[in-house]
Amino acid sequence: MSERVIRRAVVPGSYDPVTNGHVDVIARAAVLYDEVVVAILHNPAKEGTFAVAERIGFLEDVVAGLPTGADNVRVEAFAGRLLVDVCRDLEAQVVVKGLRGGTDFAYEVPMALMNRHLTGLETLFLPGDPSLEHVSSSLVKEVVRYGGDVRGLVPDTVLGALLARLPGD
Ligand code: PNS
């Protein structure tokens, strides 16, 4: 009898910081696959708004609160690596990404095709929740920076950190 292969997906991103749009995609991936690795891919030469350790902390809180439980999802960070190499090391067969609309489609499809060209790595696109279609890490940061309200668009721990960090920075 052949051994059952674990279906492992990577949900990659900068997560600077995680938004509720990301949370939706992570939660749905956790239902679809045996194991999910939420992979923070960052450029060590570029300082983000949040340190990688903070981004990991936010994501670990998110994972702990998933409806499916945290058992099949873990968070890891990778500096200066190609996504295809990360997936090969993790023995993940697929990348899962959310698509918010045409702009995401135009940005994501060439990356998905390049990853498939490089190693055969496949990408599964999930349509983003329409109620979160306008939500991105960069827009959320801009809104908070100028005093706008982003409650409901990011996890509560992230909201607190944004309010403490951004206004007047
Ligand atoms: O949250 P983001 O910024 O949309 O995430 C983009 C990310 C980090 C997933 C993408 O830039 C990526 O895969 N970077 C790793 C480097 C890499 O593999 N680049 C070539 C992609 S074809």
46 counts as catalytic: yes
Give pLDDT tens digits for 118-135. Answer: 999 999 999 999 999 999
pLDDT of residue 166: 74
Residue 59's domain is classified under what CATH number?
3.40.50.620
Which residues form the domain of 65?
8-133
Judge if the beta carbon of residue 20 lies within 6 A of ligand 1: no
Pair 59, 40: CB distance under 8 Å: yes
22 counts as catalytic: yes
* Total domain count, the chain: 1
Span between the terminal Cα atoms of the chain, in Å: 60
Helix axes 137-145, 156-165, angle to 10 degrees: 50
Closest C-alpha residue for ligand 1 atom 3:
14
In a domain, residue 161? The reply is no
In a domain, residue 144? The reply is no
pLDDT of residue 167: 65
pLDDT in tens, the chain (169 residues): 678 889 999 999 999 999 999 999 999 999 999 999 999 999 999 989 999 999 999 999 999 999 888 899 999 999 999 999 999 999 999 999 999 988 999 999 999 999 999 999 999 999 999 999 999 999 999 999 999 999 999 999 999 999 998 765 5
pLDDT of residue 152: 97
With a CB cutoff of 8 Å and minimum separation 6, the contacts of 143 are 149, 150
In a domain, residue 117? The reply is yes
Judge if the beta carbon of residue 139 lies within 6 A of ligand 1: no
Closest C-alpha residue for ligand 1 atom 6:
13
Residues 58 and 86: their CA atoms lie apart, in Å, by 21
Tokens of 118: 């490089």
